[in-house]
Amino acid sequence: MGRYSAFAIAKQAFSHHKGWDRAWPSPEPKPEYDVVIVGAGGHGLATAYYLAKNHGVRKVAVIEKGWLGGGNTGRNTTIIRSNYLQPSSMAIFEKARSLYEDLSQEFNYNIMFSPRGVLMLAQTEHELRAWKRTYHANRIAGIESEMVTPRQIKEIVPIINLSGPRYPVLGGLWQPRGGTARHDAVAWGYARGAAEMGVDIIQQCEVTGVDRDAEGVTGVQTTKGAIRTKKLCIVVAGNSGVMAERAGFRLPVESVALQALVSEPIKPAMDCVVMANTVHGYMSQSDKGEMVIGGGADGFNNYTQRGSFHHIEETLRALVETFPMISRLKMLRQWGGVVDMTGDRSPIIGTTPVPGVFINCGWGTGGFKAIPGSGWATAEMVAKGTPGDLAAPFSLDRFTEGRMIDESVAAAVAH
Amino acid sequence: MLTLTCPCCGVSGEETEFAPGGEAHLKRFGPGSSDEDFRDYLFQRQNPRGVHFERWRHAFGCGKWFHAARCTQTLEVFGTYPGQTSTPTPDIIAAIKARRPEWEPQA
């Protein structure tokens, strides 16, 4: 795989751009690997990448049922922030956010990370107090975070309506170093980087069963044949419950559809991300000019990747009140992703009741922003066999011990 | 659009008329039970990709709780049945079997 550069473009131009290599190879599975990762989304690919890069584990396969980055990695609203409330959440999300800053250079692949700032509105007295608490927690943890007044908000986002009759904007929590990135490019960049170091990425291959003996996992059965391995890492987001059942254990997760939508493209109108959690809507503008809008999650279990229609109306009603100028904007596309929700709305990174099987799941509605940090922590755990400092608080046994990482109150619904 | 029929008042409505209440027929554990049982009661869920038994409330109707059997993949509703039972009724099992012959109820 050649490096991408202005020189390479000029060189390829002489052959009418017909000489480019594939961005990453598409190998057939080998009979045995040191580590098999199920799921080639952002988290799975990042795990493979950091296994190879940080720990020198290169006999790694990433097995994907569909296509690379075709699940929630390609279905989210691409928001990156780390202003969480609990210390363990702040640690892993800030690790991820800081890794995002250098990824384009590291990959030699533009992930279009845009630290344009994330603004979380406070529209009730309670929310204002909650954001102040988060602000202080962030400052203590060394995360740059500010409380902003309605007047400052109007300067940051001129199109906002501060005086909404029911929920006026009382203030906001502003993370200037948060932002967005091109979600597909994050998956592609990790895939390219991992493949370069010898990781096999095997698409269109479903894991149909997990082989185990008395000592633990021995391999997986797939639609492309059996693969032997002593270490299996399950990173399949919404399908975690299904995969866990195949491996022989249960998880404290429930899968629901979370939806998003984009409008027709318009001229640049908003250069940051705004989250309005009380009325429930969040919006940013993509480089193409589309308003990217995060919608609601269904209240009942489902695997539809579609979501209920009434959420569209509820989300847009909230956003039209917050941004009156979008009232005549037409919506272009709507889609859903199956997200795995845990009881405390924090992820699970840990060992499982089956020796040799590791799990990374439960990111719920907020997994994209965590991809680099999650991959970093999961790779460390898989390489060493036990979780490191970043991953340890997110272990599966926190649900038995009652050691919750309560972000459901801190992050409300827009995680 | 999910359409449910309330077995208490017989009214059919779409999902905004009802409030979802999560997995049905959980065995309740409380003080004195083991940590694992308590965890299972509070957090562990079947989360199947397929037939799911769940609780719903006719929130904007008669207000009563009831049970429903639904496919989480297709949103097909196999039927609803009263809330006063701790296991799926033989009728609802038969209704599911008629649509999903390969499906077996879990012990």
- In tens, the pLDDT along A62-108 reads 999 999 999 999 999 999 999 999 999 999 999 999 999 999 999 99
Q: Which residues contact B68 (CB under 8 A, 6 or more apart)?
A: B4, B24, B53, B54, B55, B56, B77, B79, B80, B81
Which chain A residues are within 8 Å of B106, Cβ to Cβ? none
Please check whether residues A153 and A277 belong to one and the same domain: yes
| Residue % of chain A over a pLDDT of 70 | 98
Please check whether residues A307 and A323 belong to one and the same domain: yes
Give yes or no for residue A262 having a pLDDT over 90.
yes
Please check whether residues A31 and A64 belong to one and the same domain: yes
Q: In B3-106, which ranges are continuous DSSP H helix?
A: 35-42, 90-99
Please check whether residues A169 and A296 belong to one and the same domain: yes
| CATH number (domain holding residue A326) | 3.30.9.10
- Structure confidence at residue A14 (pLDDT): 94
Asked if A394 contacts A347 with a C-beta cutoff of 8 angstroms, the reply is yes
| The two three-digit tokens of residue A238, written as one number | 């919404």
Contact B1 A401 (CB under 8 A): no
Nearest-by-CA chain A residue for B16: A310
A236 domain-assigned: yes
- What would the pLDDT profile of B25-47 be if each residue is shown by its tens digit? 999 998 999 999 999 999 999 99
Contact A300 B45 (CB under 8 A): no
Which residue among B2, B44, B73 places its CB closest to the CB of A250? Answer: B44
Contact A302 B72 (CB under 8 A): yes
| Residue % of chain A over a pLDDT of 90 | 92
- Residue A74, Ramachandran bin (φ over 0: left; ψ between -120 and 50: alpha; else beta): alpha
Please check whether residues A221 and A276 belong to one and the same domain: no
A100 domain-assigned: no
Q: Which domain holds residue A38?
A: 6-78+183-251+344-410
- What would the pLDDT profile of A211-259 be if each residue is shown by its tens digit? 999 999 999 999 999 999 999 999 999 999 999 999 999 999 999 999 9
Which residue among B22, B45, B75 places its CB closest to the CB of A302? Answer: B75
- Structure confidence at residue A289 (pLDDT): 96
Give yes or no for residue A414 having a pLDDT over 60.
no
The tally of domains found in chain A comes to 2
Average pLDDT of chain B? 94
A84 domain-assigned: no
Task: Choose one of A341, A362, A387: the last residue of a domain.
Answer: A341
Please check whether residues A26 and A71 belong to one and the same domain: yes
Residue type for position A254: E
Which residue among A252, A303, A308 places its CB closest to the CB of B44? Answer: A252
- What would the pLDDT profile of A326-341 be if each residue is shown by its tens digit? 999 999 999 999 999 9
Give yes or no for residue B107 having a pLDDT over 70.
no
CA distances from residue B24 to A154, A254, B28, B80 in whole angstroms, order as listed = 47, 13, 11, 12
Decide: helix, strand or coil at residue A385: coil
| pLDDT band at residue A409 using 50, 70 and 90 as cut-offs | low
For residues A281 and A266, give the distance between their C-alpha atoms in angstroms, rounded to a whole number. Answer: 19
Contact B2 A241 (CB under 8 A): no
- What would the pLDDT profile of A299-332 be if each residue is shown by its tens digit? 999 999 999 999 999 999 999 999 999 999 999 9
Q: Which residues contact A13 (CB under 8 A, 6 or more apart)?
A: none
Chain B interface with A: residues with Cβ < 8 Å: 1-2, 15-16, 19-20, 22-23, 35-36, 39-40, 42-49, 52, 54, 70, 72-75
- Structure confidence at residue A407 (pLDDT): 84
Q: Decide the pairing of beta strands B3-5 and A35-38.
A: unpaired
- For the segment(s) B3-26+33-99, the CATH number from 3.40.50.300, 3.30.70.60, 3.40.1010.10, 3.30.2270.10 is 3.30.2270.10
Contact A301 B19 (CB under 8 A): no
Please report the number of interchain residue pairs, chain A to chain B, with beta-carbon separation below 8 angstroms. 70
Report the complex ipTM.
Answer: 0.93
For residue A284, what are the β-bridge partners? A292
Please check whether residues A325 and A382 belong to one and the same domain: no
Give yes or no for residue B59 having a pLDDT over 60.
yes
Please check whether residues A187 and A172 belong to one and the same domain: no
| CATH number (domain holding residue A243) | 3.50.50.60
